[in-house]
Structure formats: C-alpha cells, structure tokens
C-alpha cells in the first residue's frame, strides 16, 4: 500500500483521485472506479503497490519499436474501464466484480520496483512493458519502476486505454519512451455504454499529446462484432489516426475472441479485412491484422 501521488483532500475527509479522467470523489473507506484506490482516514492509497499479478519475459508488442526484442511485462490488478469482452478480466476486473472477488490477491506476489528492473537487466530485456491491466490505475508503482529503469538504460512502454488524467500524463511523459493506446470506440454513446467512461475525447487527446511529445506511439483496436465493426466506426478511427496522429502510426487490428461476459462469435475474416482496407484507403502506411 502506498499513498497516492495524485489526489486532493476535500471537506469531511473526502478525497478526489487525479490519476484518471474519472476524477473519482471518494468518501472515507470507499474505493474509486478502478477498485484499487481507497480513502483511508482522508488520505488516498494505492492498495496494489508492489503487488504484481503478472511478470513475464515476452516478445515486445510494438511493431516498429525495438523490433524482435524481449520485454519484461508487468501488471497489477485493476482497471478504470469495464469492458465486457476483456481478455485479461481476471486481473483487470477482479477487484470490482463480485463474481471474481474470491480470487482477490490469490495470485498476487510481492515485487518491489528494484526487483523488476534487476530481473529485466539480468535477462537482457531492452524494455519494461506495463500492460495486461491498466497501468494508469497503478501509476505510483509504474512510475517508481520507470525511474529505476531509466537509470539502467531500459525503455519504458505504456500499454493503455488512454484514459489517464492530464496530471497523470504530465507525470509520466518524461519517463515513458513508447506507448500502445487502445482506441476502442470513437462514437460517444457507444464508448459510454461499453467502457463505463464518459467520453472518447480524452483518449484521442492523450494520443495527440504523446505524439506531440515525440514519443513512439502505436494504436490498437479490438474489432468487436456489433460494437465497433461497422464501416462508419472503423473509418472514424482510421481517419483520426491518419489526420491527427500521422500516416506512419501503426494500427493494430485485433480479432475478438469470446471472453469474460461477452460470448458472441469471433470477429469474422471479412470484418478484419474491412478494417484493413479502410485503414489503407485513408492513407495509413502500416495496418497489421492480429488473429491470436
């Protein structure tokens, strides 16, 4: 447990979390949307600090950054979205979903920042990736790891839904080297319905800030049938990438497989090819279909 880096103390021992764009106002003994931040006696704490649920050496997920290299992937439990199709729901939703709560902490293990960095160096990884759950919700843990990683000449990769606050992005921009942002949906009504967040605009804005900072950015879209697989939605995403981020940004198109609470048919080959053709048509140079 660690006191949060970004929060305000309010009247009557209430707190306001500043880590993500929910800006949760949290009463004493209550939790934020992510399920991992708690108001304890008028102070806000991250409950999962150094409680990793994932540490694994694996191939880097980015296509055009440190290609073919190995990365040390790290995650803790928690997420500020509530997508019904989440492949990593056992980590991302375990602290929010009553059906999963019996598993809380069962697979967590103590892993201090120094140990993660030393393991990455020992295994000749070139980077550390914060992924699988949402790194914004364990911001303090990730930030402390990234500072140590920089000293060891390791690169830091932020794999995110992009819904971090202005304050959080400002804090991490000097520490991250590359990012992979999920642009799930750009239609506002659908975004609210399927993610539980208020607007896709913050995600799009943060993508632009990352590019403006000169950091490497790639974009991922999981093509979910009936959610974001229509031509209008796919065109809106592709045009945003091309017009606001640049034609050289890699767009990863992922096949949906049934998971968590959503058990519809996987993304068809035709829909994946539709997304690919739309990306190419608007002028994106690099569109990658991933069916794993």
Question: How many whole angstroms separate alpha carbon 185 and alpha carbon 30?
Answer: 30
Torsions phi, psi for 183 (to 5 deg) = -100, 100
User: Which strands form 287-290's sheet, in the order they lie side by side?
Assistant: 54-59, 70-75, 127-130, 155-160, 178-182, 216-223, 250-255, 287-290
Q: How many helices (H) and strands (E) does the chain have?
A: 8, 16
Q: pTM, whole model, 2 decimals?
A: 0.92
CA distance linking residue 233 with residue 161, whole number of Å: 17
Residue position matching structure tokens 């902490």: 105
Q: Give 46-100 pLDDT, tens digit per residue.
A: 999 999 988 999 999 999 999 999 999 999 998 999 888 787 767 666 665 444 3
Burial of 75 (0-12, 13-18, 19+ CB in 10 A): buried
Looking at the chain, how many residues does it have?
Answer: 292
pLDDT beyond 90 at 101: no
What SS3 class is residue 58? strand
Is residue 208 helix, strand or coil? helix
Spell out the domains of the chain, with CATH numbers in brackets: 2-46 (no CATH), 183-292 (3.20.20.70)
Q: Looking at residue 158, what is its pLDDT?
A: 98
Q: Place 292 in a pLDDT band, splitting at 50, 70 and 90.
A: confident
- Exposed e or buried b per residue across 204-213, where buried means at least 16 C-beta atoms within 10 angstroms of its C-beta: bbbbebbbee
Share of the chain above pLDDT 90, in %: 85
Instruction: Check: CB of residue 30 under 8 Å from CB of residue 10.
Output: no
pLDDT value of residue 104? 42
d(CA 292, CA 173): 30
pLDDT, mean of residues 190-202: 95
């Amino acid at each position: 447990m660690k006191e949060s880096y970004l929060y305000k103390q309010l009247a009557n021992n209430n707190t306001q979390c500043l880590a993500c764009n929910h800006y949760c106002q949290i009463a004493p003994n209550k939790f934020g949307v992510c399920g991992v931040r708690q108001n304890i006696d008028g102070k806000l704490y991250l409950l999962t600090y150094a409680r990793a649920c994932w540490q694994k050496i694996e191939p880097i997920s980015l296509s055009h950054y440190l290609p073919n290299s190995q990365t040390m992937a790290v995650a803790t439990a928690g997420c500020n979205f509530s997508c019904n199709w989440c492949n990593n729901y056992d980590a991302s939703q375990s602290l929010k979903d009553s059906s999963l709560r019996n598993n809380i902490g069962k697979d967590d293990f103590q892993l201090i920042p120094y140990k993660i960095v030393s393991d990455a160096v020992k295994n000749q990884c070139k980077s550390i990736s914060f992924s699988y759950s949402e790194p914004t919700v364990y911001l303090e843990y990730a930030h402390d790891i990234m500072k140590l990683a920089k000293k060891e000449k390791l690169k830091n990769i932020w794999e995110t839904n992009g819904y971090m606050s202005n304050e959080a992005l400002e804090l991490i921009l000097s520490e991250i080297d590359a990012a992979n942002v999920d642009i799930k949906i750009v239609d506002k009504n659908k975004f609210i319905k399927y993610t539980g967040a208020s607007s896709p605009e913050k995600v799009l804005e943060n993508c632009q800030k990352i590019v403006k900072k000169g950091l490497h950015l790639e974009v991922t879209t999981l093509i979910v049938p009936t959610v974001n697989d229509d031509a209008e939605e796919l065109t809106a995403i592709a045009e945003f990438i091309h017009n606001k981020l640049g034609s050289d940004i890699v767009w990863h198109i992922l096949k949906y497989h049934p998971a968590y609470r959503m058990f519809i048919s996987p993304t068809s080959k035709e829909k994946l090819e539709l997304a690919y053709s739309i990306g190419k048509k608007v002028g994106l140079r690099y569109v990658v279909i991933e069916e794993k």
